[in-house]
Structure 1
Amino acid sequence: MAQENPSVTRFREYIRIKSVQPDPDYNSCIEWVKEQAKEIGLEFDLIHFELQPGFAVVLTWKGSNPDLQALMLNSHMDVVPVNPSKWSHDPFDAIKDDDGKIFGRGTQDMKSVGVQHMEAVRNLKAQGYSPQRTVHITFVPDEEIGGTNGMAKFVETTEFKKLNVGFELDEGGPCPTEQFGLFYGERALWQIKVTIKGNTGHALNFVEGTSVEKLQKLMNGFLTLREKEKEKLSDGDVSRLGLVTTINITMINGGLQPNVIPPELTAVVDMRVTPNGWTEEKAEEIIEKIIEESGSDITYEFINRNPLIPETPINDENPWWRCFKRTCDELEMKLLPMICPGATDARFLRSKGIPAFGFSPMNYTPMLLHDNDEYLEEKIFLKGIDIFTKLVRNLTEESL
C-alpha cells in the first residue's frame, strides 16, 4: 500500500478533533495548531481578549520588509453539529474510502483550508523562499455561531492592529464544476420581529380590523417583494443568489384559544440584503412602507441587523485582485466571482476597510457544507495546497 501524503495525514488528524458546536474542543485544536507551527518554524501566539471571552491564534512568518502590509490567511476552528445516524461513516473518524474521498465534519467547512494555508507555507519554506511581506495564518472560534467571540472581537484589538493586515483570504465554498468560487462580498442578515395588534372578540362574529387581516396584508407585501427578487433568478443559477435580496417569513405566533379572535400576533421576517443595488436606507424604507400599508397598531424591532458592508473591488484598481487574478490565470483556473449568500468572518475585515476574498479551492466538489456525509477528495485537497503555495508566493512580493 502506498504511503499517505503527510499533508493528508495532518488534515485527517485535524478533522478528528471534535470542535463541534455547541461545545467545541478548542483546547485540542490550539495544541494541534501549536505543534504544526513548531514543525514549520512559525511564531505562535495565542491572544485572549481582555475582560472578554474569546481568542485568536496567530502564526507568523515574518517578511524581509516589515513595513509592507501583511497577508492574512484565516480559518475558523469550529464546525456545525452532526446527526451520526445520517452519515455513512463516523463524522469524526476522517475515513478515506477507496476513491480517495475523506469524510468528516469540517472537510469542506473549513478545516481543509486552515491546513492548506499551513501546508502552503511549509512548502515555500522548504523551497527556500523568503517573503517580503509578512504572512499571518490565523485561527478563530465561533464563526458558525456568528463570530461573536472570534473575529468580531479580534479586529477591535490592538493586537490585530499591530498585524498591519493589508489583505485577507477567508473561506469560500465548493463548486461542482471546473470553476473556483470567489466571494468578494456578502449579504447582510436582517431579521425583523413584527407585532400586530387588532380588534378581538368572539370568533362567531365578523370583527373588523383584526390582527389576522393585518397579518394577511403584511404577508402579501413581503411575499410580493419576495417574488420580484425571485424573478431575477429565473434561470435558477444559484451562484447569483448573492446578487438578490431573499425574503422569507419564518415564524408566526399568537392566539388565545380556538374561539377567540387573537388580539395580537407576531411574525418574524428573515431578509438577506444584497449590496448589489441595495442600501440600508432602501431596505428600511421598504419595510416601513409594507408595515404602513398593512394597517395601524403594527410595530417592529430588529432581532438582527448586520451592516451592509461594501464589496472588495474585483477590478484593476485593486492591486490584490490583480495579483490574485494573474496567479489564477497562470494556473489556468477559471474563477467564479460572487457575493456570498451567507456570512463569513471576512465581513469583519471588510468593515475595517481591509480587502478580503473568500476562497476555498474546491472545484469538481458537491456543496456539502453543513450537510450529511460531508467530504473532500484527497486529490482536490492536495491541488488546493499547490494553489495556495503559488498564491502566497505571489501575494507576498513587494510589488503586486
Structure 2
Amino acid sequence: MRVTRIETLACDAGWRNYFFLKLCTDEGIVGWSEYDESFGSPGVGAVIDKLAARVVGQDVFAHERIFAEVSALTRPAPGGVIGQAIGAIENALLDAKAKALNVPCYELLGGLVRDRIPVYWSHCPTWRINHPKFYGPAVTDLEGVKRTAAEARERGFTALKTNLFIHEDGDAYAWRPGFAVPFEPGLNVSPKLIRNVRRHLQALREGAGDDVQILIDLNFNARPEGLLALLRALDDFELFWVEIDTANPKALAYVRSHSRQPIASCETLFGVRGFLPYFQEQAVDVAIVDTVWNGVWQSMKIAAAAEAHDVNVAPHNFYGDLCTLMNIHFAAAVPNLRVMEVDVDRLPWEKDLFTHAPEYDGGRLVVPQRPGWGTEPLEEALRARPPKVTGGLLQYKRA
C-alpha cells in the first residue's frame, strides 16, 4: 500500500485553530493525524508540504524507514516545527497501517496493557478564566475556582491540573511571562505571585475536597531561583506534581533535589536524545511526552528509555479530540504510564468535527476498539468552519 497524496486541513477552534494531516493511499485507505500550529509552532504545515514529496510513493507499512529518511533530510535543523511535521506524518502512517490491518493502533504498539486510562482534568479552571467565550461557565474569582473544582469531583475525576493566576486588581487573569503574557523576560517571582498561587490552590482544595489530587503547571514562567521560592511556599500543600519547563536538565535536577513535591517536565522535547540528559541527571519524577510532536511510534521509544531509568511517563495532550484518541492508544500500550492529560472543557461544536468523541467511564478514558485511532475528522464540518488568520499565542497583543 503506497502513499498517493498528503494534504493539510485546518478549522476554527475558538481561541485557536485545529490542524490535520490527511494521508491518502492507492488502496483507498486514508490515514489521519492532528498537529498544532497555535501554541508556538507556526509553519508546521509548510514543512509537511515540503516533506510530502519524499513520502508520496512510499510503502505505508515502512513508517520507520520513512521516519529515518525525512529525519536525515532535515538533520541540520532537527526538532522544532520540523520535528512536529515528521511526527504528524508518522502518526498518519500509523493510522493508515492499522486500518489496512483492521486493528486499533495500540496493536501496532505491542497490544493493550490497560483498557481504561487514568486521567486528570487539565486547564481547570484555566480555560474558563482565559477563554470564557468558548468554555463556560466563566470564572472570574476564587469562588468560581472553587465551583469548578467541585464540579471535577462531582463528575468523578480524581485529579485536576491548574496554572498560574492573579486574583487581585479585578477579575482573575493568567500569569504567563514565559509566553510573553505579560512581557516580563526576567521571569521573576514576586511575593504577589506567591500569595495568589497559594490562594488559588486553597480554593481548588476547598472545592475539590481531600480525595481529588491537584497538579500545578509552572511552564516556562520562572527561573530556578523563582521556582525554588514557589516550591518553598507550597511545602504545606500535598500536590500530585509540579510541572516545570526548562532547557537545563542540571538546573531542573537541582530544583527537584530541593522539592518535596514531585516534578514533571519534558513536554517540549524531541526524541530519546532530547530526553536522555533529563533521565541521566535524575531531573524528573514523571517525563511528559508529546506524542503529537514526536509521533506515537517514536514516543514508545522515549517511554522505553524512561522505563530504563525507572521513570513513568504522561502524554501531553491539550489539542482536539483526534489528538486525545491518538494519546489514548499510546497510554493503553505503554507499561510505565503515570496518568494522561485531557481537557474536559470542550468547544460547543467539537462533537460535530469528528466521527467519534472520547468516551469516559467513571473519570477514566475508554480505549476504543475501532481500527486506527478510532475516530476521523469530518471534512465537511472542518471546511464549514474556516480557520482564523491567526490564533493561539499569536493572537495576544503586546502588554
Identify the TM-score tier after normalising by the shorter chain.
under 0.3
Which of the pair is proportionally richer in helix? 2
Decide which structure has the larger Cα Rg and report it. 1
Which of the pair is proportionally richer in strand? 1
TM norm structure 1: 0.23
Greater relative CO, 1 or 2 (CA 8 Å, sep 6+): 1
TM norm structure 2: 0.23
